[in-house]
Amino acid sequence: MKLADQAIRAGYRINSFETLGSTNDEAMARAHRGDRGKLWIVASRQTGGRGRQGRSWTSPPGNVYASLLLIDPVPQVLAPQLGLLAGVALMDALSLFVATDQPIAIKWPNDIVHAGAKLAGILVEGARCRDGRFACVLGFGINRQSHPSDLPYAATDLFSVSAERPNVDDVVSALSLSLDQALTLWDRGRGFLHIRSRWLERALPAGTRMSVASKSHKLDGLFETIDDQGRLVLKTSDGQKTVDAGDVFLMDQPVPKIG
C-alpha cells in the first residue's frame, strides 16, 4: 500500500497490517513508544474497531480502516479543530469516487453521508505522552465494499454509490493527499477560518432538520452553521442553540436512546 507522492514528499509514512484490534490504538501505542508522527496505520480488518464514545465499529474485510498519527500538531486547546479538518479532507477524497449526480455531504460532527446514509466516520483522539509530547490520532472508517444493516440509522458504501469500484490503495492514497493539503491550509490553527469555510461548503444544507442526542437530553432543530469554534448551531423552537457535543441524527430517521 502506497501513499500519494505529495504525502511521501511531505514526510508521511505508512505501516499496513492484515488484522489489528484498532488502527487508532496502534497509532497511539506508537506515539507512546516515541514515534515522531506523520505515520499512517492501515488495516484490512479490525477486531476492536470503535466509533465515538467507545461504540463498536463493524470492521469486515473490504472496507478502509486508517489512522494518522500526528505529534504536537497544535496546542492542545485547538485540537478539536482537527475533527473539522479531517471531515473536509475525507469529503474531498471520497468525492473523487462518487459521481457528481450522487452528492455526499458532511454531517456534524464526524460523518460523511450520502442521501442521509452514513458512508464514513471519523474518530479523533488525543493523549499526552510521558515525555510531554501531545499525540493526536485521526481515525477513518470508510464503508468501501459493504455496510452494516443492523444500525439504528441508514448506511451505505462506496460500491453502492460509485460508478467505479475503487480499490483500498486508491482510497488511502487519495485520503493521504487530501489530508496533507488540509493540514497545510489549516497551518496549525492559523488557517482555521479557511477550513471552517470549506467545511460549510461541504456540509448538509442549512435548514436540514436534525436531532442531537446525548445521555442527558435531546434537542431538535434546523441546522444553521458552525461557529468559529466548530460548535454546531441549531435553530430551535426556543431560539438559537449552540451544541458542543452529541450524536446527530437526521429527523427523517429514528433517533435511538443514547446511554
Say which residue, 60 or 95, is predicted with more confidence: 95
Angle CA 54–56–58, to nearest 5: 150
Judgement on whether residues 162 and 196 belong to the same structural domain of the protein = yes
Span 10-29, pLDDT tens digits: 999 999 999 999 999 999 99
Structural domain boundaries, residue 54: 5-202
Residues in the chain, overall count: 259
**What is the reported pLDDT for 255?**
41
What share of the chain has pLDDT > 90, as a percent? 70
Task: Dig out the grid coordinates for 169 from the structure.
Answer: 490503495
Omega before 109 within 30 of 0, i.e. cis: yes
pTM exceeds 0.85: yes
Q: Which of 169, 187, 202 is the last residue of a domain?
A: 202
Angle CA 128–17–121, to nearest 5: 60
In a domain, 255, yes or no: no
Judgement on whether residues 194 and 239 belong to the same structural domain of the protein = no
Judgement on whether residues 213 and 117 belong to the same structural domain of the protein = no
**What is the reported pLDDT for 254?**
43
Span 202-256, pLDDT tens digits: 999 999 999 998 777 789 999 999 998 889 999 999 999 999 888 888 876 544 4
Cell 449552540 identifies what position?
242
Judgement on whether residues 191 and 220 belong to the same structural domain of the protein = no
Span 35-52, pLDDT tens digits: 999 999 999 999 976 655
Average pLDDT, the chain: 89
CATH of the domain at 240: 2.30.30.100
**What is the reported pLDDT for 252?**
62
Judgement on whether residues 147 and 63 belong to the same structural domain of the protein = yes
In a domain, 257, yes or no: no
In a domain, 75, yes or no: yes
Span 133-145, pLDDT tens digits: 999 999 999 999 9
Judgement on whether residues 130 and 246 belong to the same structural domain of the protein = no
Task: Dig out the grid coordinates for 110 from the structure.
Answer: 464526524
**Count of the separate structural domains present in the chain:** 2
In a domain, 256, yes or no: no
Q: How far apart are CA 234 and CA 211, in angstroms?
A: 10
**What is the reported pLDDT for 191?**
95
Judgement on whether residues 12 and 138 belong to the same structural domain of the protein = yes
- The pairs formed by 28-33 with CB atoms below 8 angstroms and a separation of 24 or more are 28/69, 28/125, 28/127, 28/135, 28/137, 30/69, 31/69, 31/71, 31/127, 31/129, 31/133, 31/135, 31/137, 32/127, 32/129, 32/130, 32/135
Judgement on whether residues 238 and 191 belong to the same structural domain of the protein = no
Q: How far apart are CA 128 and CA 32, in angstroms?
A: 9
Would you give the distance in Å from CA 137 to the centre of its chain?
A: 11
Judgement on whether residues 99 and 25 belong to the same structural domain of the protein = yes
Q: How far apart are CA 136 and CA 74, in angstroms?
A: 9
CATH of the domain at 145: 3.30.930.10
